[in-house]
Structure 1
Amino acid sequence: MKISQKQSVFNNEVLTRFDLYKSLFLTLPFQRVQHTGTVLPFFTTHCEKGIEEHLTPEAIIDSFFGQYEQYVQEEDRLDFLFRIVQYIERQVVLFDAVEDSAFQAIGKNDEAGLLHSMFRRAQENPEMKKKIVDKLHDFSVRLVLTAHPTQFYPGPVLSIITDLIEALKLNDVSNIQLLLQQLGKTPFINKEKPTPIDEAASLAWFLENVFYKVASEIQSQIDNELEVPIEGVKQLIELGFWPGGDRDGNPNVTAESTKKVAAMLRTILFRCYYRDFRIVKRRITFRGVEKYLEVLQNLFYENSFNPQERPNDETATILENLNAVKDVLNQHHDGLFVELVEDLIRKVVTFGCYFTTLDIRQDSSILRNTFNYLVERNPDLGIAVGDLETEENKQKAITLSEKELSFGDDADALVVDTLSVIDLLKDIQKSGSERAAQRFIISNCQQASDILGLMQLFLWSGWKKDALTIDFVPLFETVDDLSRAADVMRTLYAHKEYAAHVKRRGNKQTIMLGFSDSTKDGGYLMANWSIYKAKIELTAIAREYDVDLIFFDGRGGPPARGGGKTQKFYASMGKEIANEHIQLTIQGQTISSQYGSLETAQYNIEQLLQAGMISELQQKEGDTLTAKQKSIIDQMAQESYNKFMSLRKNPLFLPYLETLSPLKELSAVNISSRPVKRNNGKELRLEDLRAISFVTSWSQLKQNIPGFFGVGTALRWAEENNLWSYVKNLYESSGMFKTIIDNCMMSMTKSNFDITAYMQYDEKFGDFWLMLREEYELTKAYTLKLSNSQVLMEDYPIDRASILAREKIVLPLLIIQHYAIRTLLNNNVSTEKEAAYKKLIGRTIYGVVNAGRNLA
């Protein structure tokens, strides 16, 4: 295949430079590192040959050690394997940094995708400019950072990466060497499991070092391009935050940790303000501003370094004094340095005293238990527990009365936490306005009473209906829940009290749609289609009741969890789907890969802003599906679903994953405060397994089943039923369908069945492995045919080259991981060495996931 110009640039700017700087590892003053780096190429080549011959990991590793006399003892072999892992971990960091440093050269080749190109066209077309300005009055992008455990770089490593990127841009070899030395001595692993507060502190690094600067810069760019006065600007970029607030299945999140995280976010924000204010104060040394600067100095300093237990929202006071300084500069000092003040004003308008909205999330079953507890404890409510057994009776029993109730010593810990955090939200809003914490998300929302019951809990906790500054957000995630979502929302919109609450909240309703669990539940194609179809139905009902609908998408990570080319989904929603606001989760490695630096963050936020505006202003005819097209996708999704369900029902499905993947060891890796599965400690059931653990396990096997399985079967069905021309037209005309297929091809590009080809000879799992590979080959053949391509991701040569380079880097890690798993499985290890092999598995997980960060 001919190398494209884009790929040629990538080869020169990334691959060649990576090879060049990689050699610096060999010059580091660490004897063990130098020796490892010398042997690693031979080890990698040996692994590649072993894979070609379909050898087992044991055969590959043992034959390699057989070539070296010094690796006779098990201790020496384990020591070498650990050093290989550590070395490759740091190679992955270097590759990340080299790729990010080349972002300007390789990341912005497609000018059509950039926001400023749209504004440039708008300057030449007054009518288009007016449409854009009007659109921006009721449009926003909210990025919600989550603590999902697929980001393994600790804070110090992230800081090294940032400095390394800058050194690489300058080709500063001496500084690069120093940073690589620092990297060599910096641990990648947490000795203990992080707490929710630790996770929040880790993610706050991105808030402080990236989003604080980028959000205001993009806002400023838009204001200037469109000549909108700063006073009339609506906040376009919003931030959300889950660590410390997301308690769904995480017993480690409590009201106390929520309180500490909210306080921490506020303090970090004020320190950002204080740093900026010191620059303002250093420049503005004129008469007439002294009293305003003194007030600001005291506010910023005290809130940064002497925070109060229950502070007040100081946003209005800060803006009042900053605007006073601005007026003095304009009236008496020729506007000198006024841009510094305006920049700080813009940041305060954007972040207030809260920095990012802290979302609260809990499972519906916990909220029901809390409701039932208060009913049983307070018989004077006149509600019998028996009245709560059916949905109709429960809705009647929920009168939404205002009455303060309390819990007793007999209350379950989760009941106590639920009622405590409902009370705590008042204090959080007092210190940062309602924007500090205004959403309560109900996971596993299955019926209207789940929302009404939570609203009642607030009214039983001292909140008043006319001052209930909380948005209740249902989360629909399984295929079944998505199919019933429209009926649930119709019931709520028709409910007199709830409709009144929505009206008081600006007539806006946010609905969260989860991708990960629907993929685990029904497979890749059914998950995508179920969410899309639900959006159409939910939009129609919201428009019927004149409600401004906001979709909050639980997307992120790999395509199997809704990641990939996310912005392309938003650019192709069509007329039937509400798309005035884009809200999505930013998870795991997506945070560092797409928002880890100022350049990448600005680029990706601009892409989302542009996608949201394009979907309405320059909508393509094919983005709104015809009835025939919907029918075809619906039938294909059903075929794919049937294929996936046959896999799920296979008695070897979970045993295969538990036995041959590192699923069991995920729980021992200190990367998250949240357990790998719900109902921790009990026998593994698929419904309890976290979707992230599910997807991660398949990705470690390099089989990525959740990202493609069933798609080939669906496409073959379409061809066999004379529908191929329709499917081809869908791929060419529907941005939504094209993105589904393109992301599927990305999943397959990250797959490599050759690595586990030895499994086909396994007595127990051989046929199962062959079945998986058969669907992979089928899906590959049909997606290539559909996209008229010779290789997967042919239309994305840079992304493809990046993925393949990363897969090559981590290949030895995968062989080591499978070697350790099989050694334990075959009981070929002494009791005292068992822990070492488990630790080895855990360490390989880190490197493989970090290397897979590109494009989520």
Structure 2
Amino acid sequence: MSGKGGSRGGRRDVEFAPKDVQLRDDVRTLGALVGDVLREQCGDAFFQLVERARHAAIASADDDLHALLKDLPPREAETLVRAFATYFEVVNLAERIHRIRRRRDYLRSASDPQEGSLQDTARRLAAAGVTPPEIAALLQRLRIEPVFTAHPTEATRRTLLEKEQVIGRLLVERLDPSRTPDEERAALARIREEVTAAWQTDPQPSARPSVMDELENVLFYLTDIVYRIVAPFSEEVEAAVHKAYDVEVPTRPVLRFGSWVGGDMDGNPNVGAETLRAALARQRDLVLDRYRGEAAELARRLSQSGSRTGVSDAVRERVATYGVQFPTALAAIPPRYHDMPYRVLFRLIAARLEATRRDAPEGYAGAAELERDLGVVLASLHAHRGEHAGLFGVRRLLRRVETFGFHLATIDLRQHAQVHRAVLATLLRDPEWGTRAPADRLARLRLVLERREEPSGSPDAEAARTLDVFKAIADCRARFGPDAVGPYIISMAQGADDVFAVLVLARWGGLARSGHIPLDVAPLFETVADLERAPIVMHALFEDPYYRVHLAARGMHQMVMIGYSDSNKDAGIGAARWALHRGQAALVETTDRSGIDLTFFHGRGGTVSRGGGKITSAIRSAPARSIRGRFRMTEQGEAINAKYGLRGIAMRTLEQTVSAVALATALPRTPDARETGWTSVMDDIARDSRAAYRALVYDDPQFVEYFRRATPIDVIQRMEIGSRPASRQSADAGGEIEQLRAIPWVFAWTQSRHLLPGWYGLGTALDRAAERHGAAALGEMIRGWPFLRALVDDVEMVLGTADLAIAARYARLAGELGRHYLPRIRAEFDRTVANVLALKQEQALLDSDPALQRSILLRNPYVDPMSLLQIDLLERWRATGRPDDDVFRALLATVRGIAQGLQSTG
């Protein structure tokens, strides 16, 4: 199995439990279908090459595989990678469809709800004695907000995503047991048609995507998937509560959605005021178009005649009013429909929505007005025996309006603290501003706010651009609604002065209203040192009289964002996770003492090294009182496609998150009395883990050269897959690890199969902890403490995905450096594996997660050939000066293919 350093021997057979036999059959059927496509498109000789490579990988015959693939012509290498990547696409889909199948099986079971489902959660709450009024209060408080971001990781064209959707729908249709053999053959023929069309589509964009291209990618998920499922999700919440309590509990939508596309300025000069306006305008057009379509459909379905059933006066009044406002729309309604008040009203509502889209004065002033119209119809249907005559569809539309408003998704703003300091240096005419003590900067900024001083310096281009953003915030809220723009996030925040800097710039940018600044400012604490200082920084803010007044105007609510990516890159996974845990606990204490309502915003990436992993474990292991009904987290890169790419998968993703937050809020875990002692042990583990990690990554000046030669970082930095540079200063970044963004850092180590940021340092730390405290004490900790269990589970997942035998071949690209560093890396890997297996009492990695273990075994025979191809191509490309040629195109294909195979980029 992958994850064992050294010689691997032959691979284990992939075993399927009885409940997964249908997945096995799907994988075989789809694999054979891909084989047929390859024969048809590329010929039998090419298909035989694919098969020889696959069988060599299964036998772990890496030397034979290397000999087979070495010096392949670039075009043939690229085609071979496409072949393996196509297999991954169908296997990934088969696994997702199997998850949908398993969820449906549980939903059909009256007595055995799926763990983490809404039914399971409601039943557990009822069994724990949570009363119906308490459930109602909990549902009023719950707010789960995934925030979609566009970092340079998502490497799939929208065209191919749409084809994937079609294949997914066809696979879902195959779940119907009543299908005839002819229908099954027709479905497989259509799947083959989509696979073949995808094969003939170039997967690589011809140019780096713009911000608006990235927006379209995110909007694909928001409009095609998320929009469709929010109403059914709310219905499932109500049904679960009713089944557990046998009462009707009033609910409101617990889901909201956010986005960084168009608002994430940190390191991206392409984002600013105009992209914020353009993104929100596009989002509004799309959501209004969806509402208009639903209104037209409701007009068709609600055909009740006034002569046959009662209709409320409020409905008739709306028809009369809108008939005057929209005479053209009224005139277009045939006279035979005039005795159908609901039909007429919904046609007029559709006309008013179109007027809203055109910014016409007769349009809706905001989503609340549309909600009132729908409420009038609902009340009338309730009062006149219409519960089964259209009420269902009206309620679904209302749920969507309540969730999405007229903006679809709230767009956050983000900028680096250093940019604000540079702008203030210009506007205050103080060239030494950036080097002044934070306390001095804070005092000066407070005076600016209290005295309402204006800038003393003329804005340069950067300052003008920054001030324009705050004007755009005001404009966008006026046009798209108060929830259209979310918090303003400060990257690399280090002091209270960084928060005051945003307030000053917001005032100067024209955002102040009625004496206060209507803006939630969220500092983002990213490094271990900043996380440790965060409680001090926030305490200083909460004690500041001016900031207390600002918070009072914001409902005494404060958002704090915590970064998983940079903290891991800074200190390694053990120290980073502990700093995040302790930082959250300390911030909870600080805000509780100050009477502040705190929401954490979790900057989680798609990989364990950047905060990924199982969301339910992360929530269960969170510090006490850190989750109080609200959970906001980023969804990045491939995480979006893997978690929201199909409606059934999106439903499962959201129900697991909502369920975990509901349980953590209503039934908070009582800390084990032993945790006080365990925290001191974890302090030691974090310290030793950090020391081991930094000794390799930062303290050894030659290691950066090993990283650059033993990973495809030079390819990743030139990929056209995001609008933001890979480094904060430039695309080259001068070779320094500190300047490289966390995403390409993790991406590169993943590609080379080291996955080093996800485990390095922890093995040494656990060895030393066992020596100091005893193995038995560590065993008690992992059994009794969800935090350590979640950390070890996540690291085990990384270890199981890594492959040191393949990594050793990448190390050869670094020559003498490879011979120097690989033994050190391998020794730490082996230490970490040994400790994980001992703590979890397992014989092999991932024995406790057979589904993931099976998934890795399914993929590796197809990932390994691509890795060896990538190594060969890297050697050739670098030897010729890294030109943009066919070899580079083939390298891009390997990067995308390996990412698909491992289901991980950054």
TM-score under structure 1 normalisation? 0.91
Select the residue among 351, 362, 367 that pairs with 1:315: 367
Local SS of the residue matching 2:370: helix
Following superposition, the deviation at residue 4 of structure 1 comes to: 13
Select the residue among 69, 78, 83 that pairs with 2:79: 83
The answer as to 2:118 corresponding to 1:115 is yes
Distance across 1 between alignment mates of 2:471 and 2:564: 31
Distance across 2 between alignment mates of 1:723 and 1:471: 47
Letter in 1 for 2:50: L
Please give the residue correspondences for 1:62-77 in structure 2 after superposition, counting only pairs within 5 Å. 63-64=67-68, 77=73
Identity %: 23
The match for 2:294 is 276
The match for 1:512 is 561
The match for 1:325 is 377
Following superposition, the deviation at residue 854 of structure 1 comes to: 7.4
Select the residue among 169, 174, 183 that pairs with 1:166: 169
The match for 2:468 is 420
Deviations 1:69-126 (Å, cap 9, x if unpaired)? xxxxx7x722211110121221121112211221234568782221211224556776
The answer as to 2:669 corresponding to 1:665 is no
Distance across 2 between alignment mates of 1:783 and 1:124: 35
The match for 1:703 is 754
Deviations 1:696-725 (Å, cap 9, x if unpaired)? 000011011110011111111111113322
Please give the residue correspondences for 1:123-272 in structure 2 after superposition, counting only pairs within 5 Å. 127-169=130-172, 170=174, 171=184, 172-226=187-241, 233-272=251-290
Local SS of the residue matching 2:561: strand
Distance across 2 between alignment mates of 1:311 and 1:453: 38
Letter in 2 for 1:320: R
Instruction: Judge conservation of contact 2:750–2:905 (CA < 8 Å) in 1.
Output: no
Instruction: Judge conservation of contact 1:142–1:239 (CA < 8 Å) in 2.
Output: yes
Letter in 2 for 1:808: P
Select the residue among 487, 491, 494 that pairs with 1:443: 491
Select the residue among 840, 844, 855 that pairs with 2:894: 844
Instruction: Judge conservation of contact 2:299–2:342 (CA < 8 Å) in 1.
Output: no
Mean alpha-carbon deviation: is it higher for 143-152 or for 324-333?
A: 324-333
Instruction: Judge conservation of contact 1:652–1:765 (CA < 8 Å) in 2.
Output: no
Instruction: Judge conservation of contact 2:644–2:653 (CA < 8 Å) in 1.
Output: yes
Distance across 1 between alignment mates of 2:433 and 2:376: 62
Instruction: Judge conservation of contact 2:625–2:668 (CA < 8 Å) in 1.
Output: no
The match for 1:26 is 35
The match for 1:814 is 867
The match for 2:90 is 94
Select the residue among 8, 14, 31 that pairs with 2:23: 14
The match for 1:633 is 682
Local SS of the residue matching 2:885: helix
Select the residue among 25, 32, 43 that pairs with 2:53: 43
Following superposition, the deviation at residue 60 of structure 1 comes to: 5.0
Distance across 2 between alignment mates of 1:6 and 1:807: 15
Distance across 2 between alignment mates of 1:282 and 1:849: 46
The answer as to 2:697 corresponding to 1:650 is no
Please give the residue correspondences for 1:468-487 in structure 2 after superposition, counting only pairs within 5 Å. 468-487=517-536
Local SS of the residue matching 1:473: strand
The match for 2:350 is 297
The match for 1:69 is none
Local SS of the residue matching 1:137: helix
Letter in 1 for 2:761: G
The match for 1:783 is 836
Please give the residue correspondences for 1:595-614 in structure 2 after superposition, counting only pairs within 5 Å. 595-614=644-663
The answer as to 2:508 corresponding to 1:460 is yes
Select the residue among 613, 625, 629 that pairs with 1:564: 613
Local SS of the residue matching 2:488: strand
Instruction: Judge conservation of contact 1:292–1:321 (CA < 8 Å) in 2.
Output: no
- Structure 1 160/544 Cα, relative in aligned 2: closer, same or farther at 3 Å? same
Letter in 2 for 1:216: A
Following superposition, the deviation at residue 410 of structure 1 comes to: 6.0
Instruction: Judge conservation of contact 1:52–1:754 (CA < 8 Å) in 2.
Output: no
Local SS of the residue matching 2:300: helix
Deviations 1:355-405 (Å, cap 9, x if unpaired)? 1110000000001112222111xxxxxx89669711221111112147585
- Structure 1 713/384 Cα, relative in aligned 2: closer, same or farther at 3 Å? closer
Letter in 1 for 2:505: L
Local SS of the residue matching 1:511: strand
Instruction: Judge conservation of contact 2:706–2:817 (CA < 8 Å) in 1.
Output: no
The match for 1:391 is 438
Following superposition, the deviation at residue 557 of structure 1 comes to: 0.8
Deviations 1:579-630 (Å, cap 9, x if unpaired)? 4311111111111111111111111111111111222333444568722111
Mean alpha-carbon deviation: is it higher for 94-103 or for 576-585?
A: 576-585
Letter in 2 for 1:41: E
Instruction: Judge conservation of contact 1:574–1:623 (CA < 8 Å) in 2.
Output: no
Local SS of the residue matching 2:737: coil
The match for 2:585 is 536
Select the residue among 715, 726, 729 that pairs with 1:676: 726
The match for 1:823 is 876
The match for 2:573 is 524
Please give the residue correspondences for 1:577-592 in structure 2 after superposition, counting only pairs within 5 Å. 577-592=626-641
**Alignment RMSD:** 2.9
Distance across 1 between alignment mates of 2:897 and 2:382: 54
Mean alpha-carbon deviation: is it higher for 13-22 or for 642-651?
A: 13-22
Local SS of the residue matching 2:468: helix
Deviations 1:135-172 (Å, cap 9, x if unpaired)? 22222111000102222221121111121122223152
- Structure 1 724/255 Cα, relative in aligned 2: closer, same or farther at 3 Å? same
Letter in 1 for 2:75: D
Local SS of the residue matching 1:506: coil
Letter in 2 for 1:40: V
Give ranges in structure 2 of 5+ residues lacking alignment. Answer: 2-11, 107-112, 175-183, 305-339
- Structure 1 566/784 Cα, relative in aligned 2: closer, same or farther at 3 Å? same
Local SS of the residue matching 1:344: helix
- Structure 1 660/672 Cα, relative in aligned 2: closer, same or farther at 3 Å? same
Distance across 2 between alignment mates of 1:624 and 1:584: 30
Distance across 2 between alignment mates of 1:765 and 1:407: 56
Following superposition, the deviation at residue 465 of structure 1 comes to: 5.9
The answer as to 2:121 corresponding to 1:103 is no
- Structure 1 384/625 Cα, relative in aligned 2: closer, same or farther at 3 Å? farther
- Structure 1 386/116 Cα, relative in aligned 2: closer, same or farther at 3 Å? closer
Instruction: Judge conservation of contact 1:526–1:640 (CA < 8 Å) in 2.
Output: yes
Local SS of the residue matching 2:256: strand
Local SS of the residue matching 1:608: helix
Letter in 1 for 2:368: A
The match for 2:412 is 359
Mean alpha-carbon deviation: is it higher for 660-669 or for 738-747?
A: 660-669
- Structure 1 780/385 Cα, relative in aligned 2: closer, same or farther at 3 Å? closer
Mean alpha-carbon deviation: is it higher for 433-442 or for 294-303?
A: 294-303
Mean alpha-carbon deviation: is it higher for 269-278 or for 698-707?
A: 269-278
Distance across 2 between alignment mates of 1:734 and 1:125: 21
Mean alpha-carbon deviation: is it higher for 541-550 or for 679-688?
A: 679-688
Distance across 2 between alignment mates of 1:420 and 1:312: 27
Distance across 1 between alignment mates of 2:249 and 2:359: 30
- Structure 1 321/34 Cα, relative in aligned 2: closer, same or farther at 3 Å? farther
Local SS of the residue matching 1:736: helix
Instruction: Judge conservation of contact 1:241–1:358 (CA < 8 Å) in 2.
Output: yes
The match for 1:70 is none
- Structure 1 338/130 Cα, relative in aligned 2: closer, same or farther at 3 Å? same
Letter in 1 for 2:853: R
